Amino acid sequence: MTNMTTKLPEGQKRDISSSFKVCFLLRSLCCTCGVPIPPNPANMCVACLRTQVDISEGIPKQVTVHFCKQCERYLQPPATWVQCALESRELLALCLKKLKSSMTKVRLIDAGFLWTEPHSKRIKMKLTIQKEVMNGAILQQVFVVEFVVQYQMCDDCHRVEAKDFWKAVVQVRQKTVHKKTFYYLEQLILKHKLHQNALNIKEIHEGIDFYYGSKQHAQKMVDFLQCTVPCRSKTSQRLISHDIHSNTYNYKSTFSIEIVPVCKDNVVCLPPRLAQSLGNMGQICVCIRVTSTIHLIDPRTLQIAEVDGNTYWRNPFNSLCSPRQLEEFIVMDADVIRDQKLGAGAGMRSNKHTLAEVWVQKTSEMDSSQQYHCRTFLGHLLNIGDLVMGYDFANSNINDEYLNKMNPHHLPDVVLIKKSYDRSRRVKRRNWKLQEMARDREGMDTDDERQYQDFLEDLEEDEALRKNVNIYRDASKIPVESDTDDDGAPRISLMEMMEELSLADATGGEGADMMTD
Q: What would the DSSP string read from start to end of 129-161?
A: EEEEETTTEEEEEEEEEEEEEEE---HHHHHHH
Instruction: Give 15-18's long-range contacts (Cβ < 8 A, gap of 24+).
Output: none
123 beta partners: 147
pLDDT for the residue numbered 481: 52
- Are 246 and 294 in a shared domain? no
Assess if residue 500 is contained within a domain: no
- How far, in Å, CA of 255 to CA of 266, rounded? 28
**H or E element: which one contains 50?**
helix 46-52
- How many distinct structural domains can be found in the chain? 3
pLDDT for the residue numbered 513: 43
Residue that finishes a domain, picked among 259, 284, 311: 259
Assess if residue 186 is contained within a domain: yes
Assess if residue 218 is contained within a domain: yes
**Count of CB atoms within 10 A of residue 447's CB?**
13
Residue that finishes a domain, picked among 155, 176, 192: 155
pLDDT for the residue numbered 445: 60
Angstrom CA distances, 434 to 385, 431, 456, 470, 472, stand at 33, 11, 9, 7, 6
Please tell me what DSSP assigns to residue 479.
P
- Are 302 and 241 in a shared domain? no
Angstrom CA distances, 34 to 30, 37, 138, stand at 4, 9, 20
- Are 111 and 215 in a shared domain? no
- How far, in Å, CA of 95 to CA of 73, rounded? 13
pLDDT for the residue numbered 514: 40
- Are 47 and 100 in a shared domain? yes
Assess if residue 467 is contained within a domain: no
Q: Summarize pLDDT for 198-234 with one digit per residue, the tens.
A: 888 888 887 899 998 889 999 999 999 999 999 999 9
Which candidate, 262, 164, 167, 249, places its Cα nearest to that of 212?
167
Assess if residue 455 is contained within a domain: no
Q: Which residues of the chain have pLDDT under 70?
A: 1-26, 134-136, 159-160, 162-164, 344-345, 442-446, 478-487, 500-517
- Are 279 and 391 in a shared domain? yes
Assess if residue 172 is contained within a domain: yes
Angstrom CA distances, 276 to 84, 377, 410, 446, stand at 59, 21, 16, 41
**Structural domain boundaries, residue 203:** 163-259
- Are 43 and 92 in a shared domain? yes
Which candidate, 120, 125, 131, places its Cα nearest to that of 143?
125
- Are 143 and 204 in a shared domain? no
Q: Does this model's pTM top 0.75?
A: no
Residue that finishes a domain, picked among 244, 259, 274: 259
**H or E element: which one contains 507?**
helix 503-507
Instruction: Give 188-195's long-range contacts (Cβ < 8 A, gap of 24+).
Output: 188/228, 188/468, 188/469, 189/224, 189/437, 190/435, 190/436, 190/437, 190/470, 191/468, 191/469, 191/470, 192/224, 194/220, 194/221, 194/224, 195/437
pLDDT for the residue numbered 297: 94
- Are 345 and 276 in a shared domain? yes
| SS3 track for 359-401 | EEEEHHHCCCCCCEEEEECECCCCCCCCEEEEEECCCCCCCCC
Length of the chain (residues): 517
Assess if residue 26 is contained within a domain: no
Assess if residue 193 is contained within a domain: yes
- Are 317 and 359 in a shared domain? yes
- How far, in Å, CA of 439 to CA of 209, rounded? 10
Cβ atoms 514, 149 nearer than 8 A: no
- Are 186 and 116 in a shared domain? no
Q: Summarize pLDDT for 5-19 with one digit per residue, the tens.
A: 444 455 544 454 444
The separation between CA 341 and the C-alpha centre of its own chain, rounded to angstroms, equals: 46
Which candidate, 129, 225, 132, places its Cα nearest to that of 184?
225
Angstrom CA distances, 72 to 67, 87, 199, 508, 510, stand at 7, 14, 16, 18, 15
Secondary structure of residue 334 in the 3-state scheme: strand
What radius of gyration do the chain's Cα atoms show?
A: 39
- How far, in Å, CA of 269 to CA of 286, rounded? 9
- How far, in Å, CA of 148 to CA of 411, rounded? 77
- Are 102 and 217 in a shared domain? no
Evaluated on CA atoms 423, 296, 319, 355, the torsion sign reads negative
- Are 181 and 271 in a shared domain? no
**Count of CB atoms within 10 A of residue 390's CB?**
29
CATH number (domain holding residue 123): 3.10.450
- How far, in Å, CA of 248 to CA of 257, rounded? 28
Secondary structure of residue 312 in the 3-state scheme: helix
Instruction: Give 130-138's long-range contacts (Cβ < 8 A, gap of 24+).
Output: 130/55, 130/106, 131/55, 131/105, 131/106, 131/107, 133/42, 133/49, 133/53, 133/55, 134/41, 134/42, 134/44, 134/49, 134/52, 134/53, 135/41, 135/42, 136/41, 137/40, 137/41, 137/42, 137/44, 137/49
Cβ atoms 491, 497 nearer than 8 A: no
